[in-house]
Structure 1
Amino acid sequence: MTDALALYLHWPFCAAKCPYCDFNSHVAPPPDEDRWAAAFELEIARHRALVGPRDLTSVFFGGGTPSLMSPRLVARILRAADRAWGIGEGTEITLEANPTSSEAGRFRGYRDAGVNRLSIGVQSLRDPDLRRLGRLHSAAEALRTIEIASRSFDRTSFDLIYARQDQTPEAWRIELEQALSLNPSHLALYQLTIEAGTAFGARFDAGKLPGLPGDDRAADLWHLTQEVTQAHGLPAYEISNHARPGAESRHNLTYWRGGDWAGIGPGAHGRLTLDGRRIATETPLAPGEWLHAAEAGRATVHLPEDEPAEILLMMGLRLREGVDLARYDALGGPPLACLPELIGDGLLRREGDRLSLTDEGRPLLNAILSRLLA
């Protein structure tokens, strides 16, 4: 694991804050891109000095809204990553984008800068639900953006949120079938989660989010999602991510498989193996604070990774392929006393050292992890 490295770059700015979003994103005037580029360059160089030469398997521009960055800024950051570790033909370079016409106009520039995979935050193909979700685009803009992206990039993905207010299984099936008719190679399909500290969280607490599905309806929607995507050749390779074979997100697989990644930008986290020890890194959340800290050479804090075996189990069980128990044991993981019971209940499957969820266990991941790690 230690010779491979993924690079995560966080761009924290958004045109608007979505009411369901608990990511580190901020609405602010356009930043000084040259100053931000220089800060990213400094942090990339510092990480190169820390970890040494590595095989750079992926680069991911996340946010926030990275498609608010100019192609010139993206190109400058990628040149810094290339100087540090080398970007090869097999390096996956993903940029998250929103489907507004102004952002879609930059797609060719991102491709020319080196981006080879686009992840589009569509969230819904229904205008009333887009308004409820606080999105700035229409369904027609989303469809047009997906078409433009497919002409510029060999690999594209887009996100949809389901278990929305007043959404029926029949309505979700029709919408999902429409999404799949666009012939995507990758889909990220997330159940709407009400997070504390968000606008939706406050509305929910005040009883102002009517029509959200209960547990049974949410389970029906999850099973329907698996059925429809499987039938179209995009099975779930992770709890919420679906892909045609070979089109899985290589960057996200690094997280789920417990690999090494450098996290650069406001609020970015990383995991690195240094001298045989796992190190967690973290950075300041506030954009201005991170920028000043990066310029002063103190943007990244290094800490011993807390409970690496448990994290490996939590992340690895999200994958259909499961987790390597030999590696879990090597990291000092505590005994999994209830493992035989969960296997006997048909929720987990063990084949040699490989532990994975069964189809019956996949929608119950959180409850299973609570029992395993109790």
Structure 2
Amino acid sequence: AERHWGFAEGVEITLEANPSSVEAARFADLAAAGVNRVSLGLQALDDETLGFLGRAHDVDEGLAALDTAQRAFARVSFDLIYARPGQTPDMWEGELRRALSFGAEHLSLYQLTIEPGTRFATLAAQGKLPPVDPDDGAALFELTRAIATDAGLPAYEVSNHARPGAESRHNLSYWRYDDYLGVGPGAHGRRLARATQRHRKPENFLSAVRRNGHGMVEENDLAPAERAAEALLMGLRLDEGVDLARIARRTGVDRLVDDAAAKRLEALGFVERSGDALRVTPAGMLLLDSILAELVAV
């Protein structure tokens, strides 16, 4: 990549890794090759939960990988999943405070969601995985934000927390709806008003490269309204919100939000609008999906 395009000063090169001893053994070599940031999928800090989540590592192996990562890379992030079955606020607070004690500059903190076609969906359908009560989920969300903020890692996106200046730059590019190039297996891209997708399986990707000179499986033009909607849906996840004028300039779409809905939501304290700047408040983040459905006019 550096040979073809060159790197900007202070470029961020992120590796997403499983916290296993096998992957951790490669961290020093990856750092020497130029990787300067790693994101680890720890997901939980107790073995019973890791087993429930279907993870191959245990807590000791995960924390050993975290220690190796912190010695190898300049910047380290890891993720945790909360609002798990049987998890009380006190249990989550203890786990989160322990996680913060490791000194990572960035944490991704996600509520457990049940996606169609997954093992969790099957368990839920069988009554073996009761959904989290919405009020309990909201309380855990607010607790998460308060504890992380007090520790110096405020939320800059719905589920992502970082020390100021340590935000994930590549994720910010997605959320700010900048152009980005998707290159490897399974990669998606948004560039020059086009959406691209590469073959997901590495073997299919490599076969396509040999056959066609590229691994593209799909490339489509994005209509202005589609780009505008994507920019709003992504950007309003950020604490900073969106610049409506910027989106209008980039897409050619002028009517981006329902003004009546915006005024109603602002009166309720769920959004803030100042000129072309629009953001969802912390109180609104609890209801983000519903707010977006009302607010977005494209």
User: TM-score of the superposition, structure 2-length normalised?
Assistant: 0.93
The alignment of Structure 1 onto Structure 2 pairs a total of residues equal to: 289
The answer (yes or no) to whether the contact 2:40–2:78 under 8 Å persists in 1 is yes
Which residue, 187, 210, 214 being the options, matches 1:295? 210
| C-alpha distance 282-333 of structure 1, shift in aligned 2 (>3 A) | farther
2:99 to 174, 179, 195: 179
> Could you say what the CA RMSD is over the residues aligned between the two structures, in angstroms?
1.4
User: Structure 2 counterpart of 1:336, which letter?
Assistant: V
Question: Take 1:182 and 1:286, find their aligned partners in 2: how far apart are those partners?
Answer: 35
> What one-letter code is carried by the residue in structure 2 that aligns with 1:343?
E
Matches within 5 A, 1:148-159: 148-159=68-79
Q: For residues 97 and 132 of structure 2, what CA distance do their matches in structure 1 show?
A: 21
Q: What's the secondary structure of 1:120's corresponding residue?
A: strand
Number of the residue aligned with 1:231: 150
Q: Which runs of 4+ in 1 moved over 4 A?
A: none
User: Which residue matches 2:41?
Assistant: 121
The superposition leaves residues 181-236 of structure 1 with CA deviations (integer Å, 9 ceiling, x where unpaired) of 111100000111111111212222222224x4211111111011001001100000
Q: Which position in structure 1 is the counterpart of 2:235? A: 316
Once residues 348 and 272 of structure 1 are traced to their aligned partners in structure 2, the CA distance between those partners, rounded to angstroms, is 29
Query: How far did residue 166 of structure 1 move?
Result: 0.8
- Of 132, 136, 140, which residue of structure 1 is paired with 2:56? 136
Hey, what's the Cα distance between the residues in 2 that align with 1:343 and 1:122? 37
Three-state SS of the structure 1 residue aligned to 2:286 is helix
What is aligned with 1:242?
161
SS of equivalent to 1:261? coil
Cα 1:105–1:292 change in 2 (3 A) is same
Q: Distance in 2 between matches of 1:334 and 1:89?
A: 37
Asked whether the equivalents of residues 310 and 333 of structure 1 are also in contact (C-alpha less than 8 Å), the reply is: no
Q: Which residue of 2 aligns with 1:107?
A: 27
Equivalent runs, 1:1-374 vs 2, <5 Å:
81-210=1-130, 212-273=131-192, 278-297=193-212, 298-300=214-216, 301-306=218-223, 307-330=226-249, 331=251, 332=253, 334-337=255-258, 338-373=261-296
Once residues 255 and 280 of structure 1 are traced to their aligned partners in structure 2, the CA distance between those partners, rounded to angstroms, is 13
CA–CA separation in structure 2 for the residues paired with 1:146 and 1:336: 43
8 Å Cα contact 2:228-2:256 kept in structure 1: no
2:278 match: secondary structure: strand
Alpha-carbon contact 2:76-2:105 (below 8 Å) kept: yes
Separation of aligned partners in 1, 2:240 and 2:269: 16
Letter in 2 for 1:226: R
5+ residue gaps, structure 2, are none
Query: 1:88: Cα distance to partner?
Result: 4.1
Change (3 A) 1:333 1:312: farther
Counterpart of 1:288, as a letter, is E
Q: CA deviation at 1:304?
A: 1.1
Question: Is there any run of 5+ residues in structure 1 with no aligned partner, and where?
Answer: 1-80
Letter in 2 for 1:372: L
User: Can you list the C-alpha shifts for 1:309-363, whole angstroms capped at 9, x where unaligned?
Assistant: 1111000001111001102333215342211111111111012211001121111
SS for the counterpart of 1:318 is coil
Q: State the alpha-carbon separation in 2 of the partners of residues 143 and 247 from structure 1.
A: 21
Report the AA paired with residue 126 of structure 2.
Answer: A
Q: Deviations over 1:147-169 (max 9, x none)?
A: 11111111000010111111111
User: Could you say if the C-alpha distance between residues 103 and 85 of structure 1 is closer, same or farther in structure 2, counting changes exceeding 3 Å?
Assistant: same
Corresponding position of 1:12: none
CA contact (8 A) 1:234 1:244 kept: yes
Structure 1 position 284, deviation (Å):
2.7
CA distance in 2, matches of 1:264, 1:207: 41
| Separation of aligned partners in 2, 1:219 and 1:285 | 35
More strand by share: 1
